[in-house]
Amino acid sequence: SQQGEEDPQALSIQEGENATMNCSYKTSINNLQWYRQNSGRGLVHLILIRSNEREKHSGRLRITLDTSKKSSSLLITASRAADTASYFCATDLNDYKLSFGAGTTVTVRA
Amino acid sequence: DGGITQSPKYLFRKEGQNVTLSCEQNLNHDAMYWYRQDPGQGLRLIYYSQIVNDFQKGDIAEGYSVSREKKESFPLTVTSAQKNPTAFYLCASRRGGQSYEQYFGPGTRLTVT
């Protein structure tokens, strides 16, 4: 079953703008991860945040985690055309499996 | 060049035929996974294996079978019992232990007519 739900389903922004997407989940997690998928390709791991962390940065990526609200957000700053992709959150319940949401499709316009 | 390979990239089969999708990794990872992705949807777990000679059903195992005879290989067979097999299939691996990230192959797009 899919535990994570991303919002919005699709996002279109101008190059240079920031993109924010959210993920909500239902049960307690061990960690939450974000992945990127370019069209027709496999997923690429972007960043992981553990349940006892609130914020992490990696380059132009910033993710937050609010375990009380069971939600996470991914911010991509200063977007580029190469950021055009689908972004998925995945929750790890510490049972060797990940549960993926349906994803947010981001289009960066030049 | 380490990574996960899936072959072929595109596969076409007639209804009623079994088909086997290949997944190989040279990352020395313990765990391997098979997911199915339908258009506009997320990934759904079919089967996973934490160690050689052991595997567990995921959320949508019906109509699929796997084997894990070698650490490097985790082939998926889509049987004729799978009602709607046309989809994009992704294989992934994970080192295990306290390492939680999964590494994905490029995927195989299966079309059954």
Q: Does B50 touch chain A (CB under 8 A)?
A: yes
| Averaged confidence pLDDT in chain A | 94
Asked if residue A90 lies in contact with residue B104, where contact means CB atoms within 8 angstroms, the answer is no
pLDDT of residue A2: 57
Whether residue B97 has pLDDT greater than 90 = no
B84 CB-contact burial (10 Å; exposed 0-12 / middle 13-18 / buried 19+): exposed
Give the pLDDT confidence of A22-44 residue by residue, as tens digits: 999 999 999 999 999 999 999 99
Confidence of residue B2 (pLDDT cuts 50, 70, 90): low
**Geometric angle at alpha carbon A107, from A105 and A109, rounded to 5°:** 175
Q: Does A73 touch chain B (CB under 8 A)?
A: no
> How far is it, in rounded angstroms, from Cα A97 to Cα A4?
13
Whether residue B1 has pLDDT greater than 70 = no
The mean pLDDT value for B98-103 works out to 90
Name the residue with higher pLDDT: B89 or A1: B89
Q: Does B62 touch chain A (CB under 8 A)?
A: no
Interface contact A48-B103, CB threshold 8 A: no
Interface contact A40-B103, CB threshold 8 A: no
Interface contact B44-A2, CB threshold 8 A: yes
Asked if residue A86 lies in contact with residue A74, where contact means CB atoms within 8 angstroms, the answer is no
Name, in order, each residue with C-beta under 8 angstroms of B109's C-beta and a sequence gap of 6 or more. A40, B9, B10, B11, B87, B88, B89
Chain B residues with beta carbon closer than 8 angstroms to that of A31: 100
Confidence of residue B69 (pLDDT cuts 50, 70, 90): very high
Whether residue B41 has pLDDT greater than 90 = no
Q: Does A100 touch chain B (CB under 8 A)?
A: yes
DSSP state of A81: G
- Positive or negative, the CA dihedral A32, A38, A40, A41 is negative
Q: Euclidean distance between the first and final Cα of chain B, in Å? A: 36
| B13 conformational bin, left if phi > 0, alpha if psi -120 to 50, beta if neither | beta
Which residue matches tokens 């069971």? A70
Which residue matches tokens 């046309």? B86
Task: Give the percent of chain B with pLDDT over 70.
Answer: 98
> How far is it, in rounded angstroms, from Cα B93 to Cα B98?
14
Whether residue A94 has pLDDT greater than 80 = no
Q: Does A109 touch chain B (CB under 8 A)?
A: no
Name the residue with higher pLDDT: A93 or A69: A69
Task: Give the percent of chain A with pLDDT over 70.
Answer: 98
